[in-house]
Amino acid sequence: MDSLYDLTFTHLEDTLRNEGIKAIHAQKLYRLLYKDSITLDDLTPGVRDWLSKRTTTKATVVRDIASSDGCTRKFVLCFDDGQEIETVLMGYRGRYTACISSQAGCAMGCVFCATGKMGFKRHLSAGEMVAQVRFLNTHLASEGEEPLRNVVMMGMGEPLHNYKELMTALEIISDPRGICIAPSRISISTVGHIPGIKKLAEAGTAYELSVSLHGASDVERDALIPVNKRWPIADLLETCRIYSEKTKRKVLIAWTLIEGANDSDDHAIRLAQLLKGRQVHVNLIPLNPTEGFDGQPPSEERVLAFQRIIKETAEVPVTIRQRRGIDVGAGCGQLAG
């Protein structure tokens, strides 16, 4: 039996009909599940009885770790089968963002990523992704804070490797009758999973897409991202072009800066040449430390020089990602369950 958190609104309506209950009750059930705006007493006895026989995905807190930056908390959550994953809550002025995991472990094997070094454990269900968001909203409410404004699928795992469950989860998370986070405030991060990007383009979703590039040649990218051998740069950028053409949306190009590996003026020039004329926005990420990888982030001066070259040569927007939760292993590439 599916968890209630696995059910889109339409699926919930169909389930109710099939079990002899009027689909109109789906509205109140969604409010009960995701908005806390009604109680069980607001349901009819028949719906309460039906609900008592259903389950929701449980995400039990194993560890709650606050960063010294005062804005970031990492939660280690455990599901019913004992599988642990990590999810991150980030506070900004007037808003909160959740970094959500889509898998336990990851099959992509990026050499500087702690999750990649774990190997692949299993996919998360749609309900397990939704449960992370529900948990964080409940936590925020308990502290008198506003609910999440943004969701980034940048936690553990390659989201597009788990495409079907991801799309179900995001439909639930963005549904205005429930959690109600606008699709434009949801970002999907991929290592360059071309089949998944093509599916997103065909689906015409309004979610933001972030593609991790990190190398300006196949030789360089192969060394950092093994799946580049399967989905090389030329094919990836052509797929991104088609995605932008179909969706009318820019693609965020993520570039983790590693001292001596991909942070030189030459790297910046070659990256700019690849991206000039494309519908992209570049986001630079100074490397975060992970166990087993000896690389270091470049100096602030080098990061700014790299940014300047991209702006001047490619004539595309370039931003530098804020470093959050590095001291507690909550930064980009640091999650390890």
User: If we measure between CA atoms, which residue out of 121, 127, 92, 95 comes closest to residue 107?
Assistant: 121
Tally of CB atoms within 10 A around 19: 10
End-to-end CA distance of the chain: 27
Which one is catalytic: 99, 106, 113, 332?
332
| Residue 38 phi, psi dihedral angles, 5° rounding | -135, 170
For the chain, helix, strand, coil in percent to 5 are 40, 20, 40
How far, in Å, CA of 217 to CA of 267, rounded?
9
- The answer to whether residue 86 is catalytic is yes
Q: Are 271 and 216 in contact, with CB atoms under 8 Å apart?
A: yes
Which one is catalytic: 13, 86, 128, 165?
86
How far, in Å, CA of 295 to CA of 322, rounded?
19
Identity at 305, one-letter amino acid code: A
User: Residue 260: exposed, middle, or buried by beta-carbon count in 10 A (0-12, 13-18, 19+)?
Assistant: exposed
Specify the 3-state DSSP secondary structure of 266.
helix
Q: Which segments within the chain are labelled E, that is strand?
A: 60-66, 72-78, 84-92, 95-99, 103-105, 120-123, 150-153, 186-190, 208-212, 251-257, 280-286, 318-320
Interaxial angle between packed helices 45-52 and 26-34, expressed in degrees from 0 to 180 and rounded to the nearest 10: 50
**C-alpha dihedral sign at 299, 301, 305, 307:** positive
Residues noted as catalytic: 86, 332
